[in-house]
Amino acid sequence: MMVLLTITAVTVLGTSPTPSANFVRGEVMVKFVPGSEAAMRVREVSQQAPLRLEALEPVVEQLEARTGLPLTVTQLTSGDWVVLKIDAEFLSRGVADRLRGYQNVAQAEVIGEERQYIGYSAPKKIAVTFVPGTLEARTVSETLTDKGGTNFSNLVSRLQQRAASPLKAEVTEQQGLVLQVDLKALTLTLQDRLQSLPFIESTQLNHVMTAF
């Protein structure tokens, strides 16, 4: 028996307008303010042959520090637009690490952590179990019998706060949780955080691909 419940971390991440079309999950395009240090670095790198995206690492590190998310550069496009991608592998490991520090969590492990994917991949799922007899363990058990209700929603909300990411949650027969970062919601959050930075002129979602 598998119960699928999805909760959006409104209190943690805020709300974002719903985009009018599908977009690439985990990717946001940014353009830096002309004359800024980041813009000059992008222009310098774009004129190199061969193109060395790793030369943008100082810019990426600054964006990671300001957004709180692991990022990589996947492409430079015309007009000095930079395509940023959330590092889903690193993100899942970081969320698991934070969840291990949550009260009464007995175990939090990334499922299939050793598997490597090429191209797009959703954040890996995280198996979470609680110390038997605790409020969290009872809440999960009650959810299997449709008695969890508000308590389960509150539990997932607290886990999201600990993870600092929106989560989708599944309750398993073994009275544990399988959690996964909601990459669509997190992409919108990333766009909001980037747009608020003073050295970024504009942001947009990447609509190159239409669906997954």
Average pLDDT along the chain, 212 residues, taken 10 residues at a time: 41 43 91 97 93 96 97 94 96 96 95 68 92 93 76 93 95 88 96 98 82 42
CATH 3.30.980 segments of the chain: 3-13+88-184
- Beta strands 27-32 and 200-205: pairing type? antiparallel
Q: What pLDDT, on a 0 to 100 scale, did the predictor assign at position 151?
A: 87
* 17 prior amide bond cis, ω within 30: no
* Cα dihedral value 54, 59, 65, 66, nearest 10: -140
- The per-residue pLDDT for 118 is 57
Residues with Cβ < 8 Å from 204, sequence gap 6 or more? 28, 29, 191
Q: Which CATH class is domain 3-13+88-184?
A: alpha beta
Tell me how long the chain is. 212
Whole-model pTM? 0.83
Cα 94 to Cα 167: distance, rounded to the nearest angstrom: 13
Hey, what CATH topology would domain 27-86+185-205 get? Answer: Alpha-Beta Plaits (3.30.70)
Q: For residue 51, which of 26, 83, 23 has the smallest C-alpha distance?
A: 83
For CATH 3.30.70, the residue range(s) in the chain are 27-86+185-205
